[in-house]
Amino acid sequence: MTGTWIAVLATAAGCYAFKLSGLTIPQRLLASPRVRRFAELVPVALLAALSAVQAATDGHAFNLDPARLAGMAAAIAALLLRAPFLLVIVAAAGTAAALHAAGVS
């Protein structure tokens, strides 16, 4: 139990240290155009990767869950129709939930 507490608190401390380090790194390090472009593009790369990984995998394996993929397709359709953000989320979750309820996957 003590070991688990140490793991819990060390994880919390490490995660917080990472968050704080990004915020406190001197901004002059971002003065170079290349570094600034990197910092600007990183969220695009990471969030796209996160979206793909959460949509199509579970753990180490690809998991092409039909309901989840249909939810993503609904989100893309809503985005192409210029739906507001919350409607995109509702469309995605609603589609996936409806297909789950219907017994798909």
Partner 1 sequence: MSAQRAGAQVPSAGGEAAAGAAVSGPPRAARPVRDGIGLGLAVGVSGIAFGAAAVSSGLSAWQACALSLLAFTGASQFALAGVIASGGSLLAGTAGAILLGGRNALYGLRLAGVLRPPRRRKPLLALGVIDETTAIALAQPDESSARKGFTATFICIYLTWNLSTLAGAVGAGHVAAPQTLGLDVVGPAAFLALIWPRLKAGRRERAVAAAGAVIALATTPIVPVGVPVILAATAALAAALVSPAGDPRGPDTA
Neighbouring C-alpha atoms within 13 Å toward the C-beta of 79: 8
Is residue 57 within 8 A of residue 90, CB to CB? The reply is no
Residue 44 beta carbon to partner 1: minimum distance, rounded to whole angstroms: 5
CA–CA–CA angle 16, 30, 46 (5° rounding): 55
Q: Work out how close the CB of 79 gets to partner 1 at its nearest, in angstroms, rounded to a whole number.
A: 5
One-letter identity of residue 47: L
CB of 1 to partner 1, least distance (A): 8
Cα(57)–Cα(21) distance, integer angstroms? 30
Closest separation in Å from C-beta 14 to partner 1: 3
At 39, list the tokens. Answer: 């910092």
